[in-house]
Chain A
Amino acid sequence: MQRPLSPFMFPIWYRFQITSALSILHRLTGMGLTVGSIALAWWLFAVAAGGELFDATHTFLASPIGVLLLFLWSVAFFFHLCNGIRHFAWDLGRGFEIHTARHSAYGVLASTIVLTALAWLAVWLI
């Protein structure tokens, strides 16, 4: 018998729910941030090395692709941070009611947008 495998139930076996969407987004943003952590190590290495390596790294980060990557990492970071705090509330046994879990999900999305906007407004306006 071909049973559905849990990671791949989303589009076929389950209807869309904000809670399950955020659950998989938490994992996806975690994976994105893991890739970002490689860039973090590279950046620290480049700062320590200085010279041409740092210049090349800085030029790449300031390029459109670099800024796009930094923007995506900032979205992933603020989402993972906010949803991680939501997970802490669950670890403490709070917020398990369906309507609370839905409300906190929208709260996480709203906080992500606000924090990302604040961070980039600070970069562009200051």
Chain B
Amino acid sequence: MAKTPALSDATALRDEAVSKRVRQLGSARDGLGEWKLQRKTALALIPLSLYFVISMVRLATSDQVTAVQWLSSPVPALLTILFVLAVFTHALVGVRSILLDYVHTRARLMSAQLLAHGVTILLSGMSVIAVVKIFIGR
């Protein structure tokens, strides 16, 4: 009887769960969902990020309009919230794909992903609350 090679922890992809779930060309985990999320947020970010950058240029060149005044209007506040959420989602998917490429042991990968998730939730929550506070406090 052939001896089954021991599963090594050297690479995170050598996880028992992987071989059970792979079907033909399908991904081992939730790769397709992330791939789509990356594209959807990227598509949303084309107009949203350009809007934000143009707004920053306008704020930097205007003596009259302040950031608080800008974010006190509903459309800029809403677009900034959408921009922030799209940015952090897009960044998280990107950071996760980098972690998957460079972090090879399962424990380190899991902790790094947990950290990335936590920081993303913290920063996006903080940003949204900040914009809402500016909008309400106008």
Binding site for B on A (CB under 8 A): 7, 27, 30-31, 33-34, 37-38, 40-41, 44-45, 47-48, 50, 74, 77, 81, 84-85, 87-88, 91, 119, 122-123, 126
Q: Could you tell me if B71 and A47 are in contact, using CB atoms closer than 8 angstroms?
A: yes
The CA-CA distance from A84 to B86 in the complex, in Å, is 15
In the complex, how many residue pairs between chain A and chain B have their CB atoms under 8 Å apart? 72
Q: Determine whether B109 belongs to the interface, using a CB cutoff of 8 Å to chain A.
A: no
- Main secondary structure, interface of A, reads helix
**Number of chain B residues close to chain A: CB under 8 A:** 34
Q: Could you tell me if A123 and B60 are in contact, using CB atoms closer than 8 angstroms?
A: yes
Q: Which of A27, A40, A122 contacts B61 (CB 8 A)?
A: A122
Q: Could you tell me if B133 and A88 are in contact, using CB atoms closer than 8 angstroms?
A: no
The CA-CA distance from A126 to B123 in the complex, in Å, is 33
Query: B43-55, CB under 8 A of A: which get 1 and which 0?
Result: 1011001100100
User: How many Å from the CB of A34 to the closest CB on chain B?
Assistant: 4
The CA-CA distance from A48 to B50 in the complex, in Å, is 22
Q: Which of A31, A41, A123 contacts B127 (CB 8 A)?
A: A41
User: How many Å from the CB of B57 to the closest CB on chain A?
Assistant: 5
Residue of B nearest to A73 (CB): B53
Q: Could you tell me if B84 and A40 are in contact, using CB atoms closer than 8 angstroms?
A: yes
Q: Could you tell me if B101 and A7 are in contact, using CB atoms closer than 8 angstroms?
A: yes
State which residues 87-115 of B face A: CB under 8 Å: 87-88, 91, 94-95, 98, 101-102
Residue of A nearest to B71 (CB): A47
